Structures are given as structure tokens and as C-alpha cells.
Amino acid sequence: MADVAVIGAQWGDEGKGKIVDWLSARADVVVRFQGGHNAGHTLVIDGEVYKLSLLPSGVVRPGCKGIIGSGVVVDPVALLAEIDRLEDQGVKINPTNLSIAENATLILPLHQELDAMREGAAAGVKIGTTKRGIGPAYEDKVGRRGLRVADLANLDALPAKIDNLLVHHNAIRRGLGVAELDGAQVLENLREIAPKISAFSKPVWRDLDDAKKAGKRILFEGAQGVLLDVDHGTYPYVTSSNTVAGQAAAGSGLGPRAVGYVLGIVKAYTTRVGEGPFPTELEDDDGKRLGERGHEFGTVTGRQRRCGWFDAALVRQSLKIAGVDGISLTKLDVLDGFDELKVCVGYRIDGREYDYLPAGAERQAMAEPIYEVMEGWSGVTERARSWADLPAEAVKYVRRIEELIETPVALVSTSPERDDVILMRDPFQD
């Protein structure tokens, strides 16, 4: 039995939440290993809709342990609000079914303020962030001035750590012409929530090691997608963490051999939120149709997603970078009724053809897609649970994608409902 890491293989929003929930029925532990509450997962279980941001998807399932790893940046206020929301839906969250890495970095209101100030500035690159403080928190983490979950257990030592943090932030605020922060107020805000968060704080690497030794199945849940990876994505229009499968080890506290199978989640077309290059973007009726049929609005932000044809060249690139063993193809049903479908197989940039998207924002912005045209289908794929339920043209589309991305399809998702899945290979058994 293989422990499985689930990552997005495009620009996020690929439908990871449903697949992670579907797999969590086979898992004992689900671990979030990077990102923050800018991630949004929507689960639909027996008609009940659960919207998660920080919490691992497994927490909605009785008997499944949820862990927030050290690679995640944690907004304590947002986390407590999310716990309250789920409890209103009948899901009980307590230290028995949720643990937070004691060495995870905290997101504070000052991080959100800085995020918003930068994004709203007249000069500089507009990334299109969610303004939730993710980037500034990661900056403080690598700058070795961030506050961590463990710090909340010793309030007497916090004032000196807050002062050290504010040396940096107040210098920035002065430069932006914004009032400086008072350390005493920052401390007071943390004092109120500290015991609630500390109740979940643990050395989760030990729990994971124990689970591994006991033969329990571990599911590593990624956020965003490979194309938003700070190293390998469409920089600078990326998130502030590593989203590739290798981060599952670093962001949880288990060694790299802990991940036995990497499942990449891939949407049957392409979407993107925020700024940055998007070679196959459609601004015509087909793009509008994809957005409407796919309900392409962000779980966290409500922002409308940009939509376009499937980009096989870019997905192949991201799968190889992330070491993906197999993919879950989601939202195939959104393509029902299109007369023809286009798949990007490469690019033309300044008169030269590429079978990958080169680094460099300027060249990426100039990329023109080279399309392969495929026949659409008039039949219905929605709610299909076997190959026999799919129109022949839909099967051809899936098989052609499999060839182009050079990676096998393990699952096909045909609706938001958890059980509407065609299983080709069980990742836990691979």
C-alpha cells in the first residue's frame, strides 16, 4: 500500500477537494503540507456542501485524522472561524481529530495589511494575490523573524519576538506612509486566541512517524498547483510556497520516501485566477460557456476564473517537474455538448516552436498556442461511473490527453458529487 500525495497540476482550482475526500475514505491521516487559507476546497457529500480553506479535507470524515504541517502558514483567526463553520454543519473538530505543527508559522493581521498595501500600490507588479497575508508570512518565515504556533504557549516570551518582527514591518510601513504598529496591541490580539490554538499544537512529525510505523495510510494534500510553484511556476505570478510533490516531505516532517504515489489533479480544460500568462485563454463564447458550465468562481475569493482549452504541453511539463505517477482528470462533464474541442500541444514564441513553456515572463506572455482539434460529443458524461457510460468521443479525448501528457489517467471525475468517479487505478494500491 502506497501513501499518496495529491497535488494540482495546473494553476490550482482543479478539483482537489473532491478527490482528496474520495481518497480519504481509504486513508487514516490527511496532511496539509503547504499554502494557507488562500486555498479553497469544496466538498459535496450527500448533498451537503463543505467549504474548506486551512483544514485538511479528511476532517469531515469520522475516524480520519487531520494534520496541518509545518509547511503551512496558519491564520489563527481564520482557522478558528473555519472550525466554527464546520461545527455549525455538524462536524466536530477537536485535538483528537486535528493537530497543528508546533513549528508552523503564523499569519497575523499585519501580514494581510501589507499584502493589501502592496497589491494596491500604484507601482510594481500586480500578482493578483488573495490579500490574505500568505506571501508576507512566508517572507517572515524565511527571514527568521516570524512567529510560530509554539510561541503562543509562552506569552511571556512573545513581546521580544513581536518587537523583532515590528523592526522590519514598521520600517516598511514608514516607507509606505502608513502608521506604525504597536507591539502591545499585537500581543493583546494574540493573547486572546493563544489557548484555543495551542490546544491543537503538537510535534506532528512524531504522530506521522508513529502512523507510518503502524502501517496507517497517509494522504498528503497539496494546495494551489504546480504552475503556481514559487520555483517552477509562471514567476512572478505565483504563490509563495513550493506546490510540487517534493514539498509533501518537507512540509509535513516525513522523509521523501514516505510518499509512494503522486496523484496530479488535472482539469479537462484550463483555468486561472489572477494575473499572469495563459496561452490558451478564451475570451469568446466558448470561454464564457466553460466558465458558466464549470461554475468557475473561487471557493475562497469568489473571483471569476479565466477559462481556456486544455493545455497538454503545460500539463506535461508540470507533471514531469512534480514527479507525478498518475492523474485524476476532473470536470470532464463540463465539455459535454461542444461540437469540437481544442488541445494545445505546443507554442510559437517569436517565430520559434516550443513543446514546453520557457521561463521568463516576457516570453511566456508572447506564447501562441499550437492546437490539435478533436471531435466533441453530444452525449452526457455527467454522473458517469464507468467507461461504458462515456460517449466514444469522450473516451478518445481522455486517451489522447493521456498520450500527450505522457502520464496515465488513474481516475476520471464526472461531477462534483464524491462518488461520481471512474476508477482506473487505485493510488493506494499502486
Condensed to tens digits (0 to 9), the pLDDT of residues 75-92 reads 999 999 999 999 999 999
What's the CA gap between 354 and 348, in Å, rounded? 6
Tell me, what's the pLDDT at 91? Answer: 92
Task: Check: CB of residue 54 under 8 Å from CB of residue 75.
Answer: yes
Least reliable range by pLDDT among 113-127, 140-154, 176-190: 113-127
Residue 122 makes CB contacts below 8 A (sequence gap 6+) with none
Q: What is the pTM of this model?
A: 0.92
Q: How far apart are CA 59 and CA 3, in angstroms?
A: 18
Residue 401 has pLDDT above 60, yes or no: yes
The mean pLDDT of 132-137, rounded to a whole number, is 94
Distance CA 211, CA 35 (A): 23
Q: What is the pLDDT of residue 85?
A: 94
Confidence of residue 430 (pLDDT cuts 50, 70, 90): low
Could you say which of 21, 37, 41, 75 is catalytic? 41
* Range from 69-78, 110-119, 148-157 carrying the lowest mean pLDDT: 110-119
| Cβ-contact 79, 107 below 8 angstroms | no
Terminal Cα distance for the chain, rounded: 7
pLDDT category at 93 given cuts 50, 70, 90 is very high
C-alpha cell read off for 394: 469522450
Least confident of 30-39, 98-107, 120-129, 236-245: 120-129
Q: What are phi and psi of 248, to 5 degrees?
A: -60, -40
| % of the chain exceeding 70 in pLDDT | 97
The answer to whether the bond into 236 is cis (omega within 30° of 0) is: yes
Alpha helices per DSSP H over 218-348: 247-250, 285-293, 312-322
Instruction: From the candidates 13, 21, 311, 420, give the one annotated as an active-site residue.
Output: 13
Q: How far is CA 371 from CA 157, 227, 257, 313, 346, in A?
A: 60, 20, 38, 10, 7
Res. 370: pLDDT tops 60: yes
- Strands (E) in 46-106, as ranges, are 48-52, 65-68, 73-74, 98-101, 105-106
Binned at pLDDT 50, 70 and 90, residue 21 comes out as confident
**What's the whole-number mean pLDDT along residues 30-43?**
85
Contact, 143 vs 169, CB < 8 A? no
Select from 27, 107, 42 the least CA-distant residue to 72. 107
Q: Looking at the predicted structure, is the pLDDT value of residue 424 above 70?
A: yes
Indicate if 13 belongs to the active site.
yes
Look up residue 100 and give its three cell numbers: 497543528
Q: Which of 10-24, 235-249, 262-276, 394-408 has the lowest mean pLDDT?
A: 10-24
Cell of 13: 482550482
pLDDT grade for 113, boundaries at 50, 70 and 90: very high
Instruction: State mean pLDDT over 280-294.
Output: 95
Mark whether 111 is an active-site residue.
Answer: no
In the prediction, which pLDDT does 352 show?
A: 97
pLDDT over 60 at 122, yes or no: no
Virtual torsion, Cα 50, 53, 58, 63, nearest 10 deg: -80
Closest listed residue to residue 364, CA positions, set 242, 279, 251: 279
Name the strand (E) or helix (H) holding 410: strand 409-413
DSSP 323: T
At 381, list the grid cell.
458524461
pLDDT at residue 67, as a whole number: 97
Predicted confidence (pLDDT) at residue 1 exceeds the cutoff of 70: no
Kindly report the average pLDDT of the chain as a whole number. 92
Across-strand partners of 29? 65, 218
